[in-house]
Structure 1
Amino acid sequence: MLASKTLEIVCRLVLTGILLTLSTALFAETKHYSVTAPDGVTIAVQETGNADGHPVIFLHGLFGSHLNWEAQVSRPELQHYRLITYDLRGHGLSSKPSSAEAYSDGRRWADDLAAVIEALDVHDPVLVGWSLGAAVITNYLAAYGDDKIAGAMYVGGVIELHPDQIASHPEVYRDLSSPDLRTRLDAERSFLSLCFEIQPDIVTFQRLLANAALASPEMQTAVPSMTISAAEGLGAARKPILLLYGARDALVRPEPSIARAVALNSLIRSTLYAESGHAPFLEEADRFNLDLAAFVDAVTQL
């Protein structure tokens, strides 16, 4: 009996050791980098996953940071990819220049992405851009072409800052530029609530709200006038591009956005999540991660 009990304990210890080893291998430690953009802005970059896996670069949206992508970079189904996130200029831990031109000039956001790709020696990445992040990808395509990427996924993506594509919330957008701190913070909370049809848990929402509070006031004021070179970017792209929207998006109108993108480039494909709002990668994370993995695998086999 004693020998049997001892054997059971030893087996449990061995199994625990195996699980710990697998867990360590599966979830790589996050690496942090600082990349300098051509205009001197410092970009905070993070990397996890398999360093030898195919690279995926995630670009968050307005008022976000790399923390937006925790449901992707922390999930086991994506750990075999090289997972790279970064904080857009004016957001998170990246520099926050005070000039309006630093945000209204879309080429500068494109240059940030190009600098990240070069500094981390990334080859043929799949770009995943949420909302404003999709507009950054478009400007990157316009400035640098698509020779150095494998494909792109736009999630709730801003195609153009046109009234027919962007839902009207005049009070919210007005107050986001308010000099009064309480007014601006309340507007950020309202904006964040509009991101979700399926609301996140309270801890996640509070973290995302803190994300928004870190955003540069100068960026908030200038970004509505950001230039987006849609015709030169999306229109000229030949690598696979998938548009993914939540059908209940309260910020970006899916149908006219998809129609405009396809009018620019008939090769573009799209899909709708019927139950999601503006953030399907959080609202239906399990489904999104499977779809992302399928897209990455498909475009990297071309």
Structure 2
Amino acid sequence: MYRFFHRVLGTLLLAAALAATAAGATTRSYTVTAPDGVPLAVDEAGNPDGPAIVFVHGLLGSRLNWERQFASPVLARYRLIAFDLRGHGLSGKPAGAAAYADGRRWADDLAAVLATAKATKPVLVGWSLGAAVITNYLAAYGDAGIGGAVYVGGVIELKPEQITAHPALYRDLASADLKTHLDAERAFLGLCFATPPQPDVLQRLLANAAMASWEMTAAVPSMTIDAAAGLGRLGKPLLLVYGERDALVQPQPSIARARALQPRAVTALYPGAGHAPFIEAPERFERDLASFVDRAAGAGVRPAAAGR
């Protein structure tokens, strides 16, 4: 009996090891160094020879925000790349507000990731603050190196008419008092969803938030965004994805401003979804994203409307 259980245990351990090896073969992690020396943690998954998609997370997140997309069968044929923004996750957390308030720093980070990855005409996907990072990248580097962009609950500009007012929340996020700070992070995360994710996912997102730099959190409201130079000069396809119940970014004013700068932008509004439609409505988001990437790859042809 002992030998039987020993053989069974050995078989299970071998299967687990093989599974871990297989998983490791499909995900590659590495570090990119930004021009100012900040290390940036990067993950890759999917088909290394497929069209590239680069995911840029939002405030208090990390590359793990895209965990569902990295495991999606719909997106498995693409080369999937995600990284932790400066001040987040396992990326460097430089001291001083200047490291975060200057939008060019964030643009340079994205440029460094693209250069190291050697991704050909990638589609850039930015959630919330990640959209502002893409805008600053476009302003600094232009659109010649990308195939298109997708803004998900995207911050177009940090202006009151586009950002839902939560003055006490943003004040408390920058608080030096630990309890106040952590309670504000929990409240902020709660506002990201009209329908909260599963408890294990929510707990991981809370851990993401707790890892973020306090100096970064305090400086981000002053981050420069050159929307006119970024979106205004974009000649590649642009998809705007917003949840109709977004409690952090005002969908209609943000869409209106983005379309004023980029009239060819296509809009997809997700009914019932909040600030994170890629988590709240992942099946639709992944289908829309795959369709957009395929169309954007077609010699710059503007994609058909995913919504209205």
Regarding TM over 0.5, the answer is yes
The ranges of structure 1 where at least 4 consecutive aligned residues each deviate by more than 2 angstroms after the TM superposition are: none
Partner of 2:187: 190
- The equivalent position to 1:205 in structure 2, one of 202, 206, 218, is 202
Partner of 1:88: 85
Structure 2 gaps, min length 5: 1-14, 300-308
Given that 1:63 and 1:215 are in contact with CA atoms closer than 8 Å, whether structure 2 keeps it comes out as yes
Shift of 1:29: 2.1
AA in 1 matched with 2:212: A
Q: Normalising to structure 2: TM-score of the pair?
A: 0.89
SS at match of 1:245: strand
Partner of 1:113: 110
Higher mean alpha-carbon deviation, 261-270 vs 87-96, is at: 261-270
Distance in 1, matches of 2:195 and 2:68, equals 15
Distance in 1, matches of 2:28 and 2:54, equals 14
Distance in 1, matches of 2:87 and 2:30, equals 17
Q: Is residue 38 from structure 1 mapped to residue 35 from structure 2 by the alignment?
A: yes
Higher mean alpha-carbon deviation, 257-266 vs 132-141, is at: 257-266
AA in 2 matched with 1:114: A
AA in 2 matched with 1:102: A
SS at match of 1:152: strand
Shift of 1:198: 1.0
AA in 2 matched with 1:72: Q
Report the aligned-residue RMSD: 1.6
- The equivalent position to 1:219 in structure 2, one of 192, 210, 216, is 216
Distance in 2, matches of 1:219 and 1:262, equals 29
Distance in 2, matches of 1:218 and 1:267, equals 37
SS at match of 2:160: coil
Partner of 2:162: 165
Q: Deviations over 1:11-37 (max 9, x none)?
A: xxxxxx9xx99x959x95211111010
Distance in 2, matches of 1:285 and 1:139, equals 27
Given that 1:141 and 1:233 are in contact with CA atoms closer than 8 Å, whether structure 2 keeps it comes out as yes
SS at match of 1:157: coil
Partner of 1:97: 94
AA in 1 matched with 2:295: A
Given that 1:28 and 1:49 are in contact with CA atoms closer than 8 Å, whether structure 2 keeps it comes out as no
Structure 1 gaps, min length 5: 1-16
- The equivalent position to 2:247 in structure 1, one of 226, 246, 250, is 250
AA in 2 matched with 1:159: I
Given that 1:28 and 1:50 are in contact with CA atoms closer than 8 Å, whether structure 2 keeps it comes out as no
Partner of 2:129: 132
Q: Deviations over 1:154-200 (max 9, x none)?
A: 00000000000000111111100000011000000000000000111
Shift of 1:99: 1.3
Q: Normalising to structure 1: TM-score of the pair?
A: 0.91
Distance in 2, matches of 1:43 and 1:73, equals 19
| Number of equivalent positions | 282
Q: Is residue 277 from structure 1 mapped to residue 274 from structure 2 by the alignment?
A: yes
SS at match of 1:252: coil
